[in-house]
Amino acid sequence: MANLETTYLGLKLKNPLIISSSPLTSSPEGVADLEQAGAAAVVVKSIFEEQIRADIGNMYDVLEGDTSGFAMEYLCADLPARLGPEKYLKNIKAMRERVSIPVISSVNCATSTVWVDYARKIEDAGADAIELNLYHMPTDIKKSSNEVEEAHVKIMQAVNDAVALPVTVKLSRHYTALFHFARHLAQAGASGVVLFNRFLHADINLVDESVFYKPNYSTPSVFPSQLRWAAVLRDWVKCDIAISGGIHSGDELAKALLVGANAGYCCSVLLKNRSLTPIQQILDRLSQWMDSKGYPDIASFRGKLRETDLHDGHGFERAQYIKAATEIV
Ligand SMILES: Cc1cc2nc3c(=O)[nH]c(=O)nc-3n(C[C@H](O)[C@H](O)[C@H](O)COP(=O)(O)O)c2cc1C
């Protein structure tokens, strides 16, 4: 029977499957159920930087001041799970006491560093790591891509300086130069990058011609994009990589590991099925595939298909990618 143990952000994991930030990870009870179902770690439902600075009572007012309005949409799609800053810390503490798997806290941030002291409180509450969820629509027409990225690196550095915990950054796929940015984050101290977050999709109600938002669950069809980016980034960022997006079976998890990811995140497959059973199914399939290949553990195949090792031009990118990457080493 294959050994699924691995590490992510320096944390020991019993297997490489982490449940991503979502309504599933918003309560200690939910997190205990996830541990029971086989999850190796959880990323707690995000708290917003606006929430940290404001009392829950005037959260709507604060978020309405958000330039993008996207924070508001994201929040409204999942409002019942939202907690104020003090309750969020209590929640982390309760989770930490309740389960033995790592609990990774998540902060949605993108615009300022004024809340960074809160990261110390997250650490004191017992979180094992902090994930910065850079979910932000850069709608300020005066800001260049460089300025946006620099602000994000600054936030990561400020958090990293404030805590001894490992800090990982959940990215969106919409950076102009993702290679450069991810590398910059790693050089500035990030212990990991997560590829990728998903924006809520807006839809239109044709009857009353209004715009509405609903949680959009993934399908495995979104997975190849994550796979490709992880494969090409693997050797050029000196930090861990987790894939989030489209992991619905053990096949996707095996592929994530083959391109060099340290862990795979999932949530849609559980939310869609309204069941935690897929966790064990994913792990059983991974284990079965490893046995069929004669891999005793994750280390014996992790990274085998990362882009750098594919020198025949038939990898995830063709030769021009390899050339470009070589030039920035
Ligand atoms: C209902 C819902 C709520 C989510 N809330 C958060 C959140 O608070 N913070 C975050 O970083 N990601 C959030 N996500 C994104 C997921 O963590 C995950 O990155 C994304 O759904 C892709 O993974 P999947 O294909 O397994 O769904 C949410 C996703 C869903 C479906």
pTM: 0.89
- How far, in Å, from the CA of 22 to the mean position of ligand 1? 5
The pLDDT profile of the chain, 329 residues, written as one tens digit per residue, is: 899 999 999 999 999 999 999 999 999 999 999 999 999 999 999 998 877 766 544 555 554 444 455 555 555 555 444 567 888 999 999 999 999 999 999 999 877 888 898 999 999 999 999 999 987 778 889 989 999 999 999 999 999 999 999 999 999 888 889 999 999 999 999 999 999 998 777 889 999 999 887 778 999 999 999 999 999 999 999 999 999 999 999 999 999 999 999 999 999 999 999 999 999 999 999 999 999 999 999 999 999 999 875 555 567 765 455 555 565 54
Tokens of 19: 């449940």
| Cβ atoms of 271 and 22 closer than 8 Å | yes
Element of type H or E holding 263: strand 263-266
In this prediction, residue 84 carries a pLDDT of 72
Q: Which amino acid is at 186?
A: A
- How far, in Å, from the CA of 20 to the mean position of ligand 1? 6
Which residue minimizes the CA distance to atom 1 of ligand 1?
Answer: 215
- How far, in Å, from the CA of 47 to the mean position of ligand 1? 13
CATH code of domain 6-304? 3.20.20.70
How do 17-19 and 192-195 pair as beta strands? unpaired
Where do the structural domains in the chain lie, given as residue ranges? 6-304
Q: Is the peptide bond before 196 cis (omega within 30 degrees of 0)?
A: yes
Which residue minimizes the CA distance to atom 22 of ligand 1?
Answer: 245
Q: Is 46 in the pocket of ligand 1 (CB under 6 A)?
A: yes
In this prediction, residue 313 carries a pLDDT of 52
- How far, in Å, from the CA of 74 to the mean position of ligand 1? 10
Q: Is 20 in the pocket of ligand 1 (CB under 6 A)?
A: yes
Distance CA 262, CA 181 (A): 19
Distance CA 298, CA 300 (A): 5
